[in-house]
Structure 1
Amino acid sequence: MKILTVVGARPQFIKASMLSKAIKAQSKIEEIMVHTGQHYDHNMSTIFFDQLKLTKPDYYLGIGSGSHGEQTAKMLFELEKIMLSVQPDIVIVYGDTNSTLAGSIAASKIHIPIAHVEAGLRSFNKKMPEEINRIITDHLSHLLFCPSKTAIHNLKQEGIDKEVYLTGDIMYDAVIHFKDPAIQQSTILNDLSLTAGNYFIATVHRAENSDEPERLKQILTAFQRLDKTIILPLHPRTKNKIQHFKLDHFITSSHIKTIDPVNYFDMLALVSQAKAILTDSGGLQKEAYMLRIPCITLREETEWIETVQTGWNHLAGYKTNQILDKVNHLKLPQYSPSIFGDGRTAHVIHNILLHSF
């Protein structure tokens, strides 16, 4: 059996590393990996292959940044050529990026079955490009691997009920596998003069926040008014927007430490020892829950509704006062159910693939 895996962004590298490990433990599946190059910064791309001990991709497209249409079109063109050449039995895509969309459309046009890892997620906000990507991918996919019961329910509401599997979340596999090595090997807390439990991690990168000057200003004002150290890894796109909107002065306070995007081990070390997370990232909301770190989400909705229901995640939106209110009233919940499986999602997916083709 031959599978073609399409990745292009940091979370996809992490998820793919776990399934690749499960595949390599067997000899019945040949995996061919394509890296679209959607993330091309060293700390957001190449280094992950080294840290996660991923085999270097068989194909690197080097697409880079661009508008959604330009980026997706370039990927479609290149991926179709590769798929026609490789003739895989199935194409595997992860998550909700433009790489996910391009991989699923390219495969569907030439009648190659698609497996979607992290299927069924919905924010119900179609202004988010990620929402469009995940809806289209789910409706094109032949195998749908869902991280939670909510995801299965969402698919059923859209009439998708065949070849839908509750597998757990493959990111949980990675958190369990890499947490201890990350804490042991990373020096970032010492490098930044941090004490465990005495700082916040903040990230802002969603277009709905970073592209809107008033929203971005309100979020940065909240960071400015907090009285605890904030580590703010600045996504290149967000950094450019802050400069463009002339909001630099909001992040010059002594308690705000802006840093370049960090590698997975450093980020895992930072998140696992933080007091709380402030983010608009879907992946970080989920990782915070897995690590039992409170999260304040800088959006009005989330795909990970279970994390809100358990009290570990709080929707604050973008307004300064609402963010500060959520921070000031943070409490550690008493209950943290295993909503993302048992850390063996990669093995579950691997076995389904083996028995499906």
Structure 2
Amino acid sequence: MTDSTVGFVLGTRPEIIKLAPVIQECHRRGVDTHIVHTGQHYSDSLDAVFFRQLGLSPPDVNLEVGSDDHGAQTGAMLAGIEEELQATEPTVVFVQGDTNSTLAGALAGSKMDVDVAHVEAGLRSFDDEMPEETNRVIIDHIAEYLFPPTAETAALLRDEGIPEDRITVTGNTIVDAVETFDNEAATSSQILSELGVSEGQFDLLTAHRAETVDDREAFERILSGVARASAQAEREVIYPIHPRAEDRLEEFGIAVPDQIRLIEPLDFFDFLRLESTADLVFTDSGGVQEETSILGTPCVTLRYGTERPETAFVGANCVAGREPSSITAAATQMRGKAGDWNTPFGDGTAAVQILDAIPELPDREAVTAPE
């Protein structure tokens, strides 16, 4: 092993999936890692199973922060992460995306003079009402190493005055993960038979964001629009429901349309299998927009904007908003697309490029060169 220890701070399903290629590349290079799980997602169905399927060891520590108001949650994370960084003194600490876990990890590293590396930097929705937008901007401006997935996101960083020498375009590590595990998911997952559905004969829905499900009228309009759009194509909708959304359905007394079948949250392989075989995917998730564009499945985004505009530029995604008529129109536009667009997020070597860009760590050629 090298003398370096690399820290990772993560707390949600997307962070686990997108940091897994970087963690695995560290191991290939003989670099020690220390993984801090904040506990932002705190059910086995939302995180622990992903470590197992991605071939990762359990995190070195789980802070078990759980859900709370933004300030209380972030503060608790910050205190716990700081303690871990003091104990391990990593060369660099990696964070990914835009969650409160990501913000807390970046702040802790910055306060302790540990270099912060931000995977998936530069994304902007230009919607200041999204708490994630505030997180993204703060993280990017305190990180030492910024890894935007595309030239467009790199340009946004430059426009904000971030120095060029901190920016390295690498593609997105989700391409690494999907290309690595899509075939395995197709072989091992039995989700299609378990649900009694056939490839291309169902639609998939994900909806969990606060602005989607915490507003009763918005949630009802989305469910109505998705059900109407799928009924027109004679497709059933499979909806793996997030605990937050399930709580809101009960709290608001919302009647779910018959066209939509609620199921429990899925592990990575099962969800990847549904994404790759659905006729159409409806989502409010940025990560799902990315994954469907890589898999060649057309997507309708249930928001009024996106920080992944590249998916729309290549024709993989249509941003529909939350009105039923707009959702049905977008579904008509997207359904049946061949999925032959070019993946906008790189060639699946993002993790290699990310570690090669950090001079304190050994590059791949040095590790793999014959003696």
Instruction: Give the TM-score range, shorter chain.
Output: over 0.9
What's the secondary structure of 2:205's corresponding residue?
strand
Q: Number of residues paired by the alignment? A: 353
Q: What is the match of residue 162 of structure 1?
A: 165
Structure 2 regions of 5+ residues with no counterpart? 363-371
Q: What is the match of residue 129 of structure 2?
A: 127
Q: What is the match of residue 231 of structure 1?
A: 238
* CA-CA distance at 1:73 after TM superposition: 0.8
Identity, % of aligned positions: 39
* CA-CA distance at 1:337 after TM superposition: 2.1
In the alignment, the residues of structure 2 paired with residue 77 and residue 25 of structure 1 have an alpha-carbon distance, to the nearest angstrom, of 31
Change over 3 Å in CA distance of 1:136–1:238 after alignment to 2 = same
In the alignment, the residues of structure 1 paired with residue 297 and residue 138 of structure 2 have an alpha-carbon distance, to the nearest angstrom, of 32
Q: AA paired with 1:236?
A: P
Alignment of 1:1-357 (within 5 A): 1-27=4-30, 29-160=31-162, 161-225=164-228, 226-227=230-231, 228-247=235-254, 249-251=255-257, 253=258, 255-330=259-334, 331-332=336-337, 336-355=341-360
CA displacement, residues 42-92 of structure 1 (integer Å, 9 cap, x when unaligned)? 111111111111011111111111111111111011111111111111111
Q: AA paired with 1:183?
A: A
CA displacement, residues 89-111 of structure 1 (integer Å, 9 cap, x when unaligned)? 11110111110000011111121
CA displacement, residues 245-267 of structure 1 (integer Å, 9 cap, x when unaligned)? 111x234x1x3210111000000
What's the secondary structure of 1:190's corresponding residue?
helix
8 Å CA contact 2:91–2:360 kept in 1: the answer is no
What's the secondary structure of 1:43's corresponding residue?
coil
Q: AA paired with 1:13?
A: I
Q: AA paired with 1:347?
A: V
* CA-CA distance at 1:327 after TM superposition: 1.1
In the alignment, the residues of structure 1 paired with residue 67 and residue 125 of structure 2 have an alpha-carbon distance, to the nearest angstrom, of 24
Structure 1 regions of 5+ residues with no counterpart? none
* CA-CA distance at 1:355 after TM superposition: 5.0
CA RMSD, aligned part only? 1.4
* CA-CA distance at 1:237 after TM superposition: 0.5
**TM-score, normalisation: structure 1:** 0.96
* CA-CA distance at 1:241 after TM superposition: 0.9
In the alignment, the residues of structure 2 paired with residue 145 and residue 223 of structure 1 have an alpha-carbon distance, to the nearest angstrom, of 35
CA displacement, residues 279-301 of structure 1 (integer Å, 9 cap, x when unaligned)? 00000000000001000000011
Change over 3 Å in CA distance of 1:334–1:105 after alignment to 2 = closer
Once the two structures are overlaid, the 10-residue window that deviates more, 155-164 or 285-294, is: 155-164
Q: AA paired with 2:358?
A: L
8 Å CA contact 1:234–1:258 kept in 2: the answer is yes
In the alignment, the residues of structure 1 paired with residue 239 and residue 333 of structure 2 have an alpha-carbon distance, to the nearest angstrom, of 21
Change over 3 Å in CA distance of 1:9–1:334 after alignment to 2 = closer
In the alignment, the residues of structure 2 paired with residue 32 and residue 163 of structure 1 have an alpha-carbon distance, to the nearest angstrom, of 24
Q: AA paired with 1:276?
A: L
Change over 3 Å in CA distance of 1:81–1:355 after alignment to 2 = closer
